Structure 1
Amino acid sequence: MAIATRLAGGVPRAWWARLRRSGEWQLLFHIIWQADRRLAAVWWALIVLRALLPPALAVATGWLVGTVQDGGSLTVPLATVGVLFTLIQTLGPLHTELATNLGDRTSAALQDRLLTSAVAPVGIAHLEDPELAGDFSLARDFDLGITAPELRTCMGYIASGLVNFVAGILSALVVCGFRWWAGLLLLLVWASPHLLLRESVAWKDWRSDEVKAHQRHAEYAYRMAVDAPAAKEIRLFGLADWTAQRFTERRRALLELSLQAMRLRERPIRLTVLVLVVGNGLVAWALAHAALTGDLSLSGLVTYAGAAIGVSAVASLEFGWWLADASRPVPVVAELEPAMKAIGDLPVGTTSARDLPRHEIRFENVSFSYRADSRPILDGLDLTIPAGTSLAIVGQNGAGKTTLIKLLARLYDPTAGVVRVDGIDLRDLDPDSWRGQIAAAFQDFVRYQLPLRENVAPDGAPDDVIRKALEQAGAADLAALDTVLSKQFAGGIDLSGGQWQRVALARALAAVARGAKVVILDEPTAQLDVRGEAEVFDRILQATRGLTTILVSHRFSTVRHADRICVLEGGRVVEIGSHDELMAAGGRYKTMFELQAARFAEGRDLDEDAGLVGEIGGDR
């Protein structure tokens, strides 16, 4: 107890605290245990067992030699040597396979933590924050083999390195049986490369802005090369070599930065070699002198010489390199958890939103900026949406249409002002309860590589509800409900853009059937032709009659059917009223409407008119 107290007192607390916070410590003593406690226990047990075998073999070999000298029975010592040698040869491959399994489980555990960190916050600001993007990309893609070997590969080398390290220490203890100073000296000289060449092992700047930029570009090129959606354009435009070159250039840049950071220096190498030669030379001279003077028997010489050679395993720098690479994502994930929560989390209200709104949704002097140093997207916006009515929102790019929807869905909170639902501050409502009242079809809707049934109702719904929603969206005969909507699966199919949009609309309509009171349609028919749009929109109006519907669209043939139309400009409402009222007012709405009508009269495809879409299309 006294020795332990002295040792603990001799270790600087700051160093000890830093060690416990390090990725290496967290990986070996926390993360792998959280991933699979039993597998981690076996992994460590095999490290101890394998580490005992080399010094045990040295002792057994000396025993065998001594038995031969004495003319005794060789059965037991020879069998012992054979068993130890067999275990050394067989436990290694077994340990590697187990380490691969543990690496996979550890990788999955880290990804689970990252996924939880990403989805736990109430808002989404943490997923759009540029300062977190680099670390998030490093943490998300650490196991793709882009910036470092996969964890499943690293764990086997870490195990072997730990075995060598511990075996070297145990071998030094055996040498201490010859001379106490000999074992200690060998341990120190063979540990010296870890100190003298430490700059050649650890890549300290792997989270620098330069490294993050190269990594993100390499990962982007990798995604383009392997993801199916990009395959058509890459081949059509002959971009295969271009994509591969981008990945190669960025990957080489990363490798060069790594090699530059770990480049061996001439002076440390010379000093390391000198220390090793002098230290091992002294011990070898002492062994030889003892043997020649009769102070050491042949069996003792064989035992201690074999153990002395075994101490060299302590010097394995490969262990530190693999451990440093494997542990890289650990501190990133650990730091991202509180950082993402701090940026993306919102105050959680407790008031139920069941059956809301009954009267109105009101934006009162609402302002919003995505960053404190950026211009406001919404600036003192006032808007009232009576419950049970439909409101269309139009405006130029950057007017704040999509931002308004994000605030309504409480993906963000206003930086100033308040959004009220029947007089209740939206921040006082339970977020899950409020979002349960919302059905949404976004322009950038998700295309789930799942059966049609789960695309329409990911959280489950009766088949009759799903079929009715598909019928209302004009997709009744699209496919069987069990058909996977991706050709990457056996029996799966691919859909056109318009068909996918109908599926997204069906998803919103299924939510309406299950009780949603607010319908958000963000460019809901952008990928449909004019006739398909008219057909689908009539179905939507019928299905959402009596609900509060907010529609964002650049097609005025669609928005004119809304009860009221709101024109946003400069983050504020500049016009609001019915189609007839706004046309009679002769303001901004009339100008945009007549511009689009003139293009239509000329027979031009509105969706392909870049100038018009830029004038009245989407925004953030």
Structure 2
Amino acid sequence: MRLLRLLPGRGGGLVLALLQGVRAVMPALTAVAVGRLVTALFQDGGVRAAAEAAIVVAGLVLVDQVAWLMITPVRTLVVKRIDGGLRARMRELALGLPGLDVLERGDVQDRLARAVDPGMGIARERSAGNAAVGQLELVFRVISAVAAAAVLATFSVVLAVVLLAAALGMRAVLRRQWMRIIDKLDADTAGQRYEYYVASQAVMGAAKDVRLYGLSDWFAGRFRAAAVRTYGPVWREMLGVLRRQWAIVGGSLLMGAAVLAAPAVAVLDGRLEPGRLITYVLAGFGVLAISAMGMEAYDIEYGLRGLADADALVEAYGNKQARPGSEPAAEAPGVTLENVVFRYPGAVAPVLDGLTLTIAPGEVVAVVGENGAGKTTLVKLLTGLYRPESGHIAVGGVEPGVRRPAATVLFQDFVRYPASLRENVTGGAGGDDADVREALRQAGGDELPADLDTLLWREGEAGTDLSGGQWQRVALARALYAVGTGRRLLVLDEPTANLDVRAEASFHERVVAQVRDTTTILISHRLSTVRFADRIVVLHDGQVAEDGDHDALMALGGRYAEFFTTQAEAFRA
């Protein structure tokens, strides 16, 4: 019932039910029609009756075939509608979660993967839509068996009842045996994701390395190992089930013999007309058809489990409302962190341990430190993607965990959208082309395509791919465009990582110095890009180790001076 309630009440759902209903009664009607045709053929002078019966049989076959042809597109439409609705619910739920820490939990990822998994596995495609449609198919398969049993009951009620009960019993046994395979598959959802990751990397992600270093066999070995580790228990369970099928085979042979023998004996005894033999034989096999498990059984079981995971996620997190984003800010916000402690799930040591920092509105502050010092983590805390374990954070006087700040961030792993140059800058928000071009100019995008409609997608036939430095300028322009729309907290995380030396040297004058009425946080390992900041903050052991401008920190002779001198010596050499 849970699955049937997913079916749309109008349009596709009703049409699909009607088509399934037509096909459900066809075995019983065909058995009766064929029986009458055979009877008419044995009657003297029954040419007209035989012709009429033949027309009825042909009409039934035609209707059945038309219904079968129409079911496929209608079924696809209904499945996509149900799955689309479920995915929309899961997206809304994910957006309403308090932070990325919940999404990054293994149990949540497994539940989400099972709830919206469109991928193929062994004998299934997990989908709530397929499960709902499969449940509808099963309902009408049972109706079909009952209708065929009703026809058979006109010959023998006992045979019809015994046959129907035995067929349903065999189906129950088969289902219980084969559904154990799904338990084995669901036991390693992470393994299935890893297998897909290895396969996609071998084809696209690491295509250059595969050819340059001859990694084809290495990837193939990794894929085989992942497949064996993930599906080995499934294959062993399948072999075990196959070895236990002798009783089912014997029962099927016995029931088939009963269907053939009982009407045949009645014909030989003269209790049944020869023409009626075919009616009851066809009706009997129509009853036995329910004993066979079709693909709908797997669709139902897989979909139910995915739906149960979706229900569990809704129950656990569905009452959480998405945090509202701040309205465009008219002025730059101040930033305050007081005794902030944060550690990633499962980690022993905190990344930030009592961090205290204040940034004045409109100030340009650079944050530097060794790898793992917590620089990017600090950005995610300021933007509300994570919540601190303890301490207090405020951006513009508001806690990021309560309302997302009007911030824009250029992350190290910025996204390369397969869209036009304009959409890569605006993020699909629209806007005036003059503003887009100004953002590209500020980002130093002189070498980028002049046509804003240029498709930036290397797989596209008319698409254009960019170099690493050009992509970084596009991402930087996206951040600067967002500043122009009122996002007055600008965070640039390694903004010159893909730029050449000349572009890096002019980064401050060309980019940072042109940003007005904005609080800017600049994170970089290349200290030549941060030396002009109003303040430079050095992170160490999760705390602020040094704080001051470039000249003051160089005079201090501490960590910053050591970092800067080491980099400068490399260029002097």
Q: Scaled by the length of structure 1, what TM-score is found? A: 0.82
Residue identity opposite 1:82 in structure 2: A
Correspondence for 1:44? 17
1:513 to partner: Cα distance: 1.6
1:143 aligns to what SS in structure 2? coil
The code of the aligned residue for 2:120 comes to: G
Provide the C-alpha distance between the structure 1 equivalents of 2:459 and 2:87, rounded to a whole number of angstroms.
23
Alignment of 1:337-356 (within 5 A): 337-338=314-315, 348=323, 354-355=329-330
Alpha-carbon separation, structure 2, partners of 1:375 and 1:441:
27
Q: Which residue of 233, 240, 249 maps to 1:257?
A: 233
Q: Output aligned runs, 1:497-508, within 5 Å.
A: 497-508=468-479
Per the alignment, do residues 322 and 419 of structure 1 end up closer, same or farther by CA in structure 2, a change over 3 Å counting?
closer
* Partner in structure 2 of residue 65 of structure 1: 38
**Is the 8 Å Cα contact of residues 165 and 316 (structure 1) preserved in structure 2?**
no
Q: Which residue of 2 aligns with 1:553?
A: 524
Q: Is the 8 A contact 1:164 1:316 kept in 2?
A: no
Distance 1:284 1:347, change over 3 A: closer
Contact kept in structure 1, 2:126 and 2:299, CA below 8 Å: no
Q: Residue in 2 aligned with 1:460?
A: 430
Contact 1:486 1:493 in 2 (8 A): yes
Q: Which runs of 5+ in 2 are unaligned?
A: none
Which shows bigger deviation, 71-80 or 480-489? 71-80
CA distance in 1, matches of 2:528, 2:141: 75
Which residue of structure 2 aligns with residue 192 of structure 1? Answer: 169
Alpha-carbon deviation of 1:596?
2.0
Q: What are the superposed Cα offsets for residues 469-504 of structure 1, whole Å, 9 maximum, x if unpaired?
A: 100111034112110111222322111111111111
Query: Could you tell me which residue of structure 1 aligns to residue 104 of structure 2?
Result: 128
Distance 1:106 1:425 in 2: 38
Residue type at the aligned position of 1:390: V
8 Å Cα contact 1:200-1:261 kept in structure 2: no
1:447 is aligned to 2:416: yes
Which amino acid in structure 2 is aligned with residue 449 of structure 1?
P
Is the CA contact (8 Å cut-off) linking 1:346 and 1:413 kept in structure 2? no
Provide closer, same or farther for how the CA distance between residues 250 and 179 of structure 1 changes in structure 2, counting only shifts above 3 A.
Answer: same
Offset of residue 543 of structure 1: 1.9
1:212-242: per-residue Cα shift (whole Å, max 9, x none)? 2431221112211343x43222222222333
Structure 2 CA distance for partners of 1:470 and 1:368, relative to 1, 3 Å:
same
The 1:268/1:184 distance shift into structure 2, 3 A limit, reads: farther
Matching residue of 2:566:
595
Distance 1:378 1:514 in 2: 32
Instruction: Tell me the amino acid that sits aligned with residue 488 of structure 1.
Output: E
Maintained 8 Å contact 1:169/1:187: yes
Distance verdict in 2 for CA 1:143–1:589, change over 3 Å: same
Cα pair 1:356 1:421 within 8 Å, conserved: no
Contact map agreement 1:483 1:492 (CA 8 A) in 2: yes
Contact 2:488–2:518 (CA under 8 A) maintained in structure 1: yes
Which residue is equivalent to 1:575?
Answer: 546
**Displacement after TM superposition at 1:96 (Å):** 3.2
Which residues in structure 2 correspond to 1:13-32 (within 5 Å)? 20=1, 26=3, 29-32=4-7
Q: Which amino acid aligns with 2:118?
A: D
Alignment of 1:172-211 (within 5 A): 172-202=149-179, 203-206=181-184, 208-209=186-187, 211=188
Aligned counterpart, 2:271 = 295
Matching residue of 1:143: 118
Structure 1 residues 72-91: Cα deviation after superposition (integer angstroms, max 9, x where no partner): 54143222122112333443
Asked if structure 2 preserves the Cα contact closer than 8 Å seen for 1:103 and 1:154, the reply is yes
Instruction: Kindly report which structure 2 residues correspond to 1:64-83, keeping only aligned pairs within 5 A, or say none.
Output: 64-68=37-41, 71=44, 72=46, 73-74=48-49, 75-83=51-59
CA gap of 1:373–1:589, structure 2 versus 1, over 3 A, is closer
Partner residue, 1:612: none
Q: What whole-Å deviation, never above 9, does each CA across 1:539-593 have from its counterpart, x for those lacking one?
A: 1222224421111111111111110111111111121111111122222222222
Tell me which residue corresponds to 1:214: 191
* Partner residue in 2 for 1:614: none
User: What residue in structure 2 maps to residue 375 of structure 1?
Assistant: 349
Q: Shift of the alpha carbon at 1:525?
A: 0.8
Residue 365 of structure 1 corresponds to 339
Distance 1:239 1:32, change over 3 A: farther
Residue pair 1:147, 1:254 contacting (<8 A) in 2 also: no
> What is the SS of the residue equivalent to 1:407?
helix
Paired residue type of 1:453:
R
Structure 1 pair 349–66 and aligned structure 2 pair: CA distance change class (3 A): closer
Q: Does the Cα contact within 8 Å between 1:123 and 1:346 map onto a contact in 2?
A: no
CA contact (8 A) 1:185 1:279 kept: no
Q: 1:542 to 1:484 in 2, by over 3 A?
A: same
Residue 445 of structure 1 deviates from its aligned partner by 0.8
Letter in 1 for 2:409: A
Deviation at 1:340, TM superposition (A): 6.2
**Distance in structure 2 (CA, Å) of the matches to 1:511 and 1:265:** 59
CA RMSD of aligned residues (A): 3.1
Determine the C-alpha separation between the residues in 2 that align with 1:143 and 1:190: 32
CA distance in 2, matches of 1:508, 1:440: 6
Q: Secondary structure at the match of 1:197?
A: helix
Q: Note if contact 2:455-2:462 (Cα within 8 Å) is conserved in structure 1.
A: yes
Q: Work out whether 1:241 is the aligned partner of 2:210.
A: no
The separation in 2 between residues aligned to 1:374 and 1:425, in whole angstroms, is 26
Please, which of 402, 407, 423 is the counterpart of residue 438 of structure 1? 407
**Aligned CA distance change for structure 1 residues 546 and 161 (closer, same or farther; 3 Å):** closer
Looking at structure 2, the residues matched to 47 and 122 of structure 1 have their Cα atoms a distance apart, in angstroms, of 44
Q: Is the 8 A contact 2:22 2:64 kept in 1?
A: no
Answering whether residue 471 of structure 2 is matched by residue 532 of structure 1, we say: no
Match of 1:15 in 2: none
Report the residue type matching 1:481 in the other structure. Answer: L
The reply on whether 1:99 has 2:69 as its aligned counterpart is: no
Find the aligned partners of 2:272 and 2:61 in 1 and give their Cα distance: 25
Once the two structures are aligned, what percentage of the paired residues are identical? 36
Is 2:484 aligned against 1:484? no
TM-score, length basis structure 2? 0.89
Structure 1: distance between partners of 2:422 and 2:62: 56
- CA 1:226 to 1:481, structure 2 compared with 1: closer, same or farther past 3 Å? same
Give, as a single letter, the amino acid of the residue that structure 2 aligns with 1:542: A
Equivalence map 1:275-294=2 (5 Å)? 275-281=251-257, 284-294=260-270
* CA positional deviation for 1:530: 2.4
Residue 309 of structure 1: how far off its partner (Å): 2.1
* Aligned-pair CA distance for 1:507: 0.8
Cα displacement (A) at 1:400:
1.4
Change (3 A) 1:513 1:266: closer
CA distance in 1, matches of 2:77, 2:455: 30
